């Protein structure tokens, strides 16, 4: 590693950026497939995908071609006008999601804000005031705006930022009795991650999700899924909630939706498709042609049964390799598809630093949990390489 360049970069970033990130001491300048390359030309195997963003890996040829082609024609056009590239992307996305309509924005937090607005307006127009509560889960993560922080069921994200948007209620993941009690006549919607990401890759139980779906249908409460990290094929199905045999009224996507460019989406089924009216919502950059062009490539690539099966098979292979380590440093392994976590007996951050030194990028998810979100294009040989690095690092960590 070029220490001088990295030290200079670190000083520059600390000088000009607000102190919001704990950055690791490496500067990446390029990427190819499952690897990132630093200023010295050293490559590191990427099991993070930019936190589930680079779902097709780095420098995917079809993404590069789409971006180059679109950039030669049009960077941006206001949503006051029509755009063929954005329309094609939206059409393919709605079809892949088997939903009715979509609103395009820039991020997961924006998408979840849009979902909350839909739930409240749906209920307000139909039932009047007093039915505006949205139920979310303890351990959830829905974004960092004031409203999506209010929806996030983790106190560590709340400190110093209140007061928050009112009207959110939390229940424990998989506590069906608490869910039944929470879904009273003041509730307009629920917003769940089928697999919680930031709290440690925690899948909901089938009974919990099915109970939620049944109560929501009975009481005309919108069933909404935050699929920003767990959706778009990451679990081996287009949406993670599909694994539970339920249908969503609203679903949100972002992260990998354009393979690395910022884009978010609020997708609505029949019940919620007509809630927003002209002037109700907006986003200056939402559906940007550059992101839309890349998003079309992602949808065309991911939304194929064989590709989704391959993700599931690679996920099973990764999980099997982790279980095969039989490391005393690992206390639990869980997840679906290429969204996997390993709980440790030691703190995760020093392990992440050692893995970086040895050539593997992994994420944390809580104090003692490693999170693996490799690109869908990763190979079994690359998984083997990463597991070998992890095995040696955990052995040294004791």
User: Does the structure show a pLDDT above 60 at 231?
Assistant: yes
pLDDT band at 11 (very low <50, low <70, confident <90, very high): confident
Domains and CATH numbers, the chain: 3-60+305-397 (3.90.1150.10), 74-302 (3.40.640.10)
> Is the omega angle on the peptide bond into residue 163 within 30 degrees of 0, that is, cis?
yes
User: Does the structure show a pLDDT above 90 at 22?
Assistant: no
C-alpha to C-alpha distance for 398 and 386, rounded to whole angstroms: 19
Tell me the per-residue pLDDT of 354-374, one tens digit each, with 9 for 90 and over.
999 999 999 999 899 999 999
pLDDT value for 3 = 60
Q: Which residues contact 149 (CB under 8 A, 6 or more apart)?
A: 142, 143, 157, 158, 161, 164
66 CB-contact burial (10 Å; exposed 0-12 / middle 13-18 / buried 19+): buried
C-alpha to C-alpha distance for 157 and 379, rounded to whole angstroms: 36
Q: What percent of the chain has pLDDT over 70?
A: 99
HSE at residue 204, side-chain half, CA atoms within 13 A, is 37
The residues that are catalytic are: 141, 226, 255
Q: Which residues contact 115 (CB under 8 A, 6 or more apart)?
A: 189, 191, 224, 226, 250, 252, 266
Instruction: State residue 55 phi and psi, 5-degree precision.
Output: -65, -25
Of the candidates 135, 144, 140, 222, the one whose C-alpha atom is nearest the C-alpha of residue 181 is: 135
Q: Which residues contact 158 (CB under 8 A, 6 or more apart)?
A: 149, 152, 164
C-alpha to C-alpha distance for 143 and 107, rounded to whole angstroms: 9
pLDDT value for 8 = 79
Task: Report the pLDDT averaged over residues 33-40.
Answer: 96
User: Side by side, which strands form the sheet with 339-344?
Assistant: 330-336, 339-344, 369-372, 363-364
Tell me the per-residue pLDDT of 296-305, one tens digit each, with 9 for 90 and over.
999 999 999 9
Tell me the per-residue pLDDT of 182-213, one tens digit each, with 9 for 90 and over.
999 999 999 999 999 999 999 999 999 999 99
Tell me the per-residue pLDDT of 232-251, one tens digit each, with 9 for 90 and over.
999 999 999 999 999 999 99
Tokens of 212: 């939620």
Q: C-alpha distances in angstroms, 75 versus 83, 92, 349? A: 11, 20, 39
pLDDT value for 398 = 65
* Mean pLDDT of all residues belonging to the chain: 96
What's the pTM value of the predicted model, to 2 decimals? Answer: 0.96
End-to-end CA distance of the chain: 26
Tell me the per-residue pLDDT of 252-288, one tens digit each, with 9 for 90 and over.
999 999 999 999 999 999 999 999 999 999 999 999 9
């Amino acid at each position: 590693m070029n220490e001088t360049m990295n030290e200079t970069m670190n000083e520059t970033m600390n000088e000009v950026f607000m102190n919001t990130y704990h950055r690791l001491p490496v500067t990446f300048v390029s990427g190819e497939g499952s690897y990132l390359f630093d200023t010295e030309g050293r490559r590191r195997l990427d099991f993070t995908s930019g936190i589930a963003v680079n779902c097709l890996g780095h420098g995917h040829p079809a993404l590069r071609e789409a971006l180059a082609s679109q950039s030669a024609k049009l960077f941006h056009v206001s949503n006051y006008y029509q755009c063929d590239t954005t329309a094609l992307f939206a059409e393919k996305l709605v079809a892949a999601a088997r939903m009715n309509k979509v609103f395009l924005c820039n991020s997961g937090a924006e998408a979840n804000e849009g979902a909350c607005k839909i739930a409240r307006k749906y209920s307000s127009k139909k039932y009047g005031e007093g039915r505006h509560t949205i139920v979310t889960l303890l351990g959830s993560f829905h974004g960092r705006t004031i409203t999506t922080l209010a929806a996030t069921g983790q106190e560590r994200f709340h400190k110093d930022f209140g007061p928050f948007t009112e009207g959110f209620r939390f229940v424990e993941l998989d506590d069906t009795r608490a869910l039944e009690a929470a879904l009273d006549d003041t509730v307009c919607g629920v917003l769940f991650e089928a697999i919680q990401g930031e709290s440690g890759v925690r899948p909901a139980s089938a009974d919990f999700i099915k109970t939620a779906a049944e109560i929501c249908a009975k009481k005309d409460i919108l069933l909404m899924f935050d699929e920003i990290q767990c959706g778009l094929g990451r679990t081996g199905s287009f949406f993670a909630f599909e694994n539970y045999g339920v249908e969503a009224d609203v679903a949100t996507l972002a992260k990998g939706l354009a393979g690395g460019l910022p884009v978010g989406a609020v997708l609505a089924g029949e019940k919620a498709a007509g809630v927003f009216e002209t002037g109700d919502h907006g986003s200056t950059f939402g559906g940007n042609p550059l992101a839309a062009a890349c998003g079309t490539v992602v949808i065309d690539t991911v939304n194929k049964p064989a590709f989704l099966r391959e993700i599931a098979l690679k996920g099973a292979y990764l999980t099997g390799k982790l279980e095969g380590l039989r490391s005393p440093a690992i206390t639990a392994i869980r997840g679906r598809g290429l969204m996997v976590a390993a709980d440790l007996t030691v703190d995760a951050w020093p392990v992440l630093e050692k893995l970086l030194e040895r050539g593997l990028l992994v994420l944390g998810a809580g104090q003692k949990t490693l999170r693996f979100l490799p690109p869908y294009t990763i190979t079994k040989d690359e998984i083997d390489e990463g597991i070998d690095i992890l095995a040696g690092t955990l052995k040294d960590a004791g």
